[in-house]
A and B are shown apart, each in its own frame.
Chain A
Amino acid sequence: AQKVTQTQTSISVMEKTTVTMDCVYETRDSSYFLFWYKQTASGEIVFLIRQDSYKKENATEGHYSLNFQKPKSSIGLIITATQIEDSAVYFCAMRDRNTEGADRLTFGKGTQLIIQP
């Protein structure tokens, strides 16, 4: 079974700085897909960015980017120029595809990010 681990429970940074959130994963698949979502204070879950394992370039999307280190099974999320509204819980997830073609996401426990003014 696949496993996703986020060891940082909570991070607090000042506004306009850069923050990195860690995530490591376990899989036996040679090709896999990694995602970051954020959960806002209202509970909404928002897709941020994804990394397909066969792509060597780190994905970027606006002020989000990924630090994909395949040999270390690591997929860190980097947020530059943080804003107050980036305060949320960030979840790392991996797509798990079974032999019948169905898939599901396995989530980490999340990292709470607090942006201070």
Chain B
Amino acid sequence: GPKVLQIPSHQIIDMGQMVTLNCDPVSNHLYFYWYKQILGQQMEFLVNFYNGKVMEKSKLFKDQFSVERPDGSYFTLKIQPTALEDSAVYFCASSSYWGTQYFGPGTRLLVL
């Protein structure tokens, strides 16, 4: 199926530092998403993004989180500052209008 890429695959940082997770969505997709998964449990929606703005965010999307996609480059999730509970796998997804969401391989974030 369509491929979504995520960089980096793993990231270890100290609590309080900033981290940026990068996503390269499917080329003709216009809708972008971030999900969080802790320890192989269920995936939980964080945020969706369309036409340069956040359309909807969940309660998990704390004030320390932000997303952007400057000039059609990577779709990014920035966490500043990080907290211990931010340790998780973060999945990016993209879709066309009303289309199926396709997921990237995830970024495993460990906050120490």
Q: What is the interface of chain A, defined by CB distance below 8 A to chain B?
A: 35, 37, 39, 42-47, 50, 89, 91, 93, 98, 100-110
Contacts and interface: CB of A to CB of B under 8 A. Distances in A.
Contacts of B40: 39, 89
Given A43-B106, A105-B101, A110 B45 contact: no
B48 A104 contact: yes
Interface size class of B (residues with CB under 8 A): 20 to 34
B56 A104 contact: yes
A14 to B, nearest CB: 25
Interface of B: 1, 31, 33, 35, 40-45, 48, 50, 55-56, 58, 89, 91, 93, 100-103, 105-106, 108
Contact of A47 (B41, B43, B55, B102): B102
Contacts of A101: 55
Contacts of B101: 35, 47, 105
Contact of A43 (B42, B45, B50, B89): B89
B50 A102 contact: yes
B48 to A, nearest CB: 5
Contacts of A103: 31, 48
B103 A45 contact: yes
Contacts of A107: 42-44
Nearest to A103: B48
Contacts of B105: 42-44
Given A35-B100, A47-B102, A98 B45 contact: no
A105 B103 CA distance: 12
Closest 7 CB pairs of A and B: A102-B55, A45-B103, A102-B56, A104-B45, A107-B43, A109-B42, A107-B42
Contacts of A45: 43, 91, 103, 106
A72 B50 CA distance: 34
